[in-house]
Amino acid sequence: MSNAKYIFVTGGVTSSLGKGIIAASLANLLQARGFSVTIQKFDPYINIDPGTLNPYEHGECYVTEDGAETDLDLGHYERFLNVPTSQENNVTTGRIYFNVIQKERQGAFLGKTVQVVPHITDEIKRNFYQLGDNGNFDIIITEIGGCVGDIESLPFIEAVRQVVWEKGHNNALVIHLTLIPYLKSAGELKTKPTQHSVKELSETGIQPDILVCRTEHPLPMELRKKIALFCNVQINSVIEAMDAETIYDVPLLMKKEKLDERVMTKLKLIPKQEIDLGPWKTFLGKLKNPSSEINIGLVGKYVELKDAYKSIAESFIHAGAMNETKVNLSWIKAESLADGDISALEGMHGILVAPGFGERGFEGKINAIRFAREKKIPFFGICLGMQCAVVEFARNVLGLKDATSTEMDANTPDPVISMLEAQKKITQLGGSMRLGAYPCNLKKGTKAYNVYGKSAISERHRHRYEFNNDYLSKYESAGMIASGFNPETGLVEVMELKDHPFFIGVQFHPELKSTVLNPHPLFVNFVAAAIEFSKN
Ligand code: GLN
């Protein structure tokens, strides 16, 4: 049996209160006291994973080192903790049922009737405990997606109750995140929704140990007392969570409210070291005191939905702080550039073409890239963005007018981006994707090599199509070179222009590996190039 301590984070009143950020901030504080901490997210929906979800549904799909397609909250966990997550950190109702049904088909239940309690809840608990059982972590924080009271999350909540019952209050605790709305007309903060939400949670047999109250105004002592009394928690376990300037301020706000101390007291945890938030504060200092400002145009398909490019936006925050520069991101709808009017790109000091799937916005991206290439504006293409750069070069430099990716036109005479023969046979959704971390070797003397400062790198992938090596010599003799290759397969991972201050396209997703304490070198150097450009 492991000695890991378990913390559950549930939500009430409404969704989108920021459970992920609270969980990540608490983890951050506990990590700063010397504990090894991981965070996992349990999502109540039936999809096996978010890989098949449209970004409009759930924002970005975050890919882990081991190739799991997961919820975007895992991105926050990694950015806050600087520790990789894996498939085990994200479990859905779909996966739980899938596992139980497979076991049933294999006869594992010996003729018994398979039921939600205990079979589904046992499988949920097995997954809750999985990361604790391997002995690598002192503390496992589990965020339960959705809101208490949702029909879908009931089995998860019941499993949480059982864990607290099994492990005892010294080893498992529940933090409930709620909203204290401010009624303008009455000029008052209202506690009733929180009271109801805690009552609803109590009906499932769970008494929350700590309440984290999201609020737009400070919680006066009187109100804290009222919440404590009505919700049956200690007064110092009513934690105020005011709206913060940035998500990266939340750990410090939670420290001020002593959330970590409450948790350590309740779980009888002795800190392993004096709390060290030095590097985090240095980052915040740089973030808040920029000495210059640049404009980056992010050209994508889902720009009305900022969550679709969450990791890219956060990577720019890390890279901006590193360069002590404020990065203004302009979200530019790729389709709006399709007719050749690229006025939206005027005034940009750098252009990033985003990852994506499907034809919508493809021609607009090509136009944006042509503009960046010809005007020598720093350009950074990620995944589909790199593929678009390859197509643009084929059409406008190599003279292959109808060149494209076979994703856009299966019968193109010049498939400069195409699918490998071996992949074509795989039909199950998600099956043909190259997912997760792959090694890449960078060629010495190239821009990419200089950016990383080394040859052997590893980056995460999520795509089906690849650069077609049959065309490589044509590209290289015209000035676009392949500077990174997969050492095992020879697949091209990085393309760059020789005669340009910064023009790099990468087949992988560097944004998935940028963290507060480890900003990604490609973003850091792209921002630096944009600062240089802004001086012209
Ligand atoms: N649609 C492209 C492919 O599957 C790019 C995917 C991406 O940008 N993530 O190869």
Contact (Cβ atoms closer than 8 angstroms) between residue 446 and residue 455: no
Task: Provide DSSP, 33-88.
Answer: TT--EEEEEEE-SSSSSGGGS-HHHHSPPEE-TT--EE-THHHHHHHHH-----GG
Q: Which atom of ligand 1 is nearest to 382's Cα?
A: 8
Q: Provide the mean pLDDT of the chain.
A: 94
pTM score of the predicted model: 0.94
Ligand 1 centroid to Cα of residue 268, in Å, is 48
Ligand 1 touching residue 465 (CB < 6 A)? yes
Dihedral, 486, 492, 498, 504 alpha carbons, nearest 10? -90
> Of 20-24, 57-61, 157-161, 230-234, which range is least confident?
57-61
Q: Do 278 and 296 form a contact (C-beta atoms < 8 A)?
A: no
Cα torsion angle, 353, 311, 383, 47, sign = negative
Give the mean model confidence (pLDDT) for residues 42-53. 89
Q: Other CB atoms closer than 10 Å to residue 30's CB: what's the count?
A: 27
Predicted pLDDT of residue 409: 95
Measured in Å, residue 463 CA sits from the centre of ligand 1 at 4
Report the catalytic residues.
383, 509, 511
200-224: pLDDT as tens digits? 999 999 999 999 999 999 999 999 9
Tell me the backbone φ, ψ of residue 65, rounded to 5 degrees.
-55, -45
Q: Report which protein residue has its CA nearest ligand 1's atom 5.
A: 384
pLDDT(398) > 80: yes
The minimum-distance atom of ligand 1 relative to the CA of 509 is: 9
383 CA to middle of ligand 1, Å?
6
**Closest residue (by CA) to atom 8 of ligand 1?**
355
Nearest to 316 by CA among 334, 302, 330: 330
Least confident of 53-67, 236-250, 286-300, 415-429: 415-429
* Ligand 1 closest atom vs CA 383: 8
Sign of CA dihedral 518, 521, 527, 528: positive
CA dihedral angle for residue 68, residue 69, residue 74, residue 79, rounded to 10 degrees: 80
| pLDDT at residue number 422 | 62
Which residues lie across from 442 on neighbouring strands? 484
Give the number of other Cβ atoms within 10 Å of residue 158's Cβ: 19
CA of 189 to the centre of ligand 1 (A): 47
State how far the Cα of 449 lies from the Cα of 467, in Å rounded to an integer: 19
H or E stretch at 416: strand 415-418
3-state secondary structure (DSSP) of residue 390: helix
Q: What is the dihedral of CA 298, 304, 305, 309, to 10 degrees?
A: -10
* Mean per-residue pLDDT, 169-197: 96
Instruction: Give the residue-averaged pLDDT of 221-248.
Output: 96
- 3 state SS for 442-454: ECCCCHHHHHHCC
Pocket probe for ligand 1: among 463, 467, 506, the residue whose CB has the most ligand atoms within 8 Å is: 463
Average pLDDT in the 420-448 region? 79
How confident is the model over 53-111, as pLDDT tens digits? Answer: 877 777 899 999 999 999 999 999 999 999 999 999 999 999 999 999 999 999 999 98
pLDDT tens for residues 271-327? Answer: 999 999 999 999 999 999 999 999 999 999 988 888 899 999 999 999 999 999 999
Strand 62-63 relative to strand 69-70, pairing: antiparallel
- CA neighbor of 155 nearest in space, from 43, 19, 286: 43
Q: Cα dist. 478→68, 396, 466 in Å?
A: 38, 11, 20
> Cis (ω within 30 of 0) for the bond into 118?
yes
- State the pLDDT at residue 534: 96
With cut-offs at 50, 70 and 90, classify the pLDDT of residue 431.
low
361: left (phi over 0), alpha (psi -120 to 50) or beta: left
Mean pLDDT of 500-520: 97
Q: Which helix (H) or strand (E) holds 297?
A: strand 292-300
What residue ranges in 334-449 does DSSP mark as E strands? 350-353, 379-382, 404-405, 415-418, 434-442
The whole-number pLDDT of residue 423 equals: 59
Q: Is the dihedral of CA 508, 512, 513, 516 positive or negative?
A: positive
| pLDDT above 60 (res 1) | no
What number is the average pLDDT over the span 132-156? 93
Mutate to test the pocket of ligand 1, among 464, 467, 506, 511 (most ligand atoms within 8 A of CB): 464
DSSP label of 514: -
Buried b (16+ CB within 10 A) or exposed e, 348-377: bbbbbbbbbeeeebbbbbbbbbbbbbeeeb
Between CA 310 and CA 316, with CA 314 as vertex, the angle to 5 degrees is 125
In the reported structure, the alpha carbon of residue 477 is separated from the centroid of ligand 1 by a whole-number distance in angstroms of: 26
Q: Locate 134 and state its tokens.
A: 């391997």
Q: Which atom of ligand 1 is nearest to the CA of 462?
A: 9
> Ligand 1 within 6 A of 361 CB?
no
**Under 8 Å between Cβ of 81 and 28:** yes
Indicate whether residue 357 lines ligand 1 (CB < 6 A): yes
Instruction: Identify whether the C-beta of residue 205 lies closer than 8 Å to the C-beta of residue 7.
Output: no
* Residues 398, 381: Cα–Cα separation, whole Å: 19
Query: Which H/E stretch holds residue 282?
Result: helix 278-288
Structure tokens at 224: 């804290």
Is the shortest distance between the CB of 345 and ligand 1 below 6 Å? no
Q: How far is the CA of 501 from the centre of ligand 1 (A)?
A: 26
Say if ligand 1 is within 6 A of residue 435 CB: no
- Distance between terminal CA atoms of the chain? 63
* Percentage of residues of the chain with pLDDT beyond 90: 88
CB of 462 within 6 A of ligand 1: the answer is: yes
Query: 146-165 pLDDT, tens per residue?
Result: 999 999 999 999 999 999 99
CB atoms within 10 A of CB 111: 5
